[in-house]
Amino acid sequence: MPKRYDVGTGAHEYPATARDRYRQVYFEAFDLVIACIKDRFDQPGYKTYRSLQDLLVCCACGGDYATHLRSVMDFYRDDFNEQALTTQLETYQVAVRDKKVKTITDIVTFFRDLSPETRLFFSEVMRVLRHVLVMPATNATSERSFSGLRRLKTYLRTSMTQERLTHLMTLHVHRCATDAMDLLDVANEFVSVNESRLTIFGKFS
């Protein structure tokens, strides 16, 4: 049992063994992690974001999406045409019934494969999907991305144009896609733009 001693009117406890001490530290850290997770996912903005995503996913899976639709309309109000959105969701639910659409990625693929004319028919549903795709659930990724700006544009690169900086930031943000590129293909595409580059650099292999 932990030992207790009194200083003035306050009682203090300290662990009797190292095992008790590490147990105390472990549970304090565990409680802190749980509190941080709750603070992150209990935010009003995250609940709104979740309602947008659940509306599309629940509708695609054939579930009852009325609660999610009401939550979205209460928040966005005039941003969506409620009557048109309700009608399009019913049609959308029938259209994806046999497509095995279960995740937001499947929904993106479904709409990407549609013809432009068909997408116009689902204009309000597409607007919901755009809100899901462009509104981040957290700003941590964007903060990390912009923290790289100082590494790209330093005092020695102050003459860099905005267009070049935008291209470099795009490569920095999408590092996974950048790392997967074949540098030989990129180099050959660069030199094949005109005869002058091809004469100077030749063909890479």
Query: pLDDT class for 89, splitting at 50, 70, 90?
Result: very high
DSSP state of 37: H
Residue 16 or residue 64, greater confidence: 64
Residue 11, helix vs strand vs coil: strand
Residue 5 is predicted with a pLDDT of 44
Mean local confidence (pLDDT), 187-191: 89
Residue 72 or residue 16, greater confidence: 72
With 0.75 as the threshold, say if the pTM is over it. no
Whether 128 and 55 have beta carbons less than 8 Å apart is answered as yes
- Summarize pLDDT for 113-161 with one digit per residue, the tens: 999 888 889 999 999 999 888 876 555 555 555 567 777 777 777 788 8
3-state SS of 104-144 is HHHHHHHHHCCCHHHHHHCHHHHHHHHHHHHCCCCCHHHHH
Question: Backbone phi, then psi, for 123, in 5-degree steps?
Answer: -60, -45
Which one, of 6, 1, 28, 5, lies nearest residue 16 by Cα? 1
DSSP state of 153: S
- Summarize pLDDT for 4-57 with one digit per residue, the tens: 444 454 556 777 888 888 888 888 898 988 888 887 777 777 788 888 999 999
Residue 6, helix vs strand vs coil: strand
Which one, of 84, 81, 52, 79, lies nearest residue 68 by Cα? 52
Residue 11 is predicted with a pLDDT of 57
Residue 176 is predicted with a pLDDT of 86
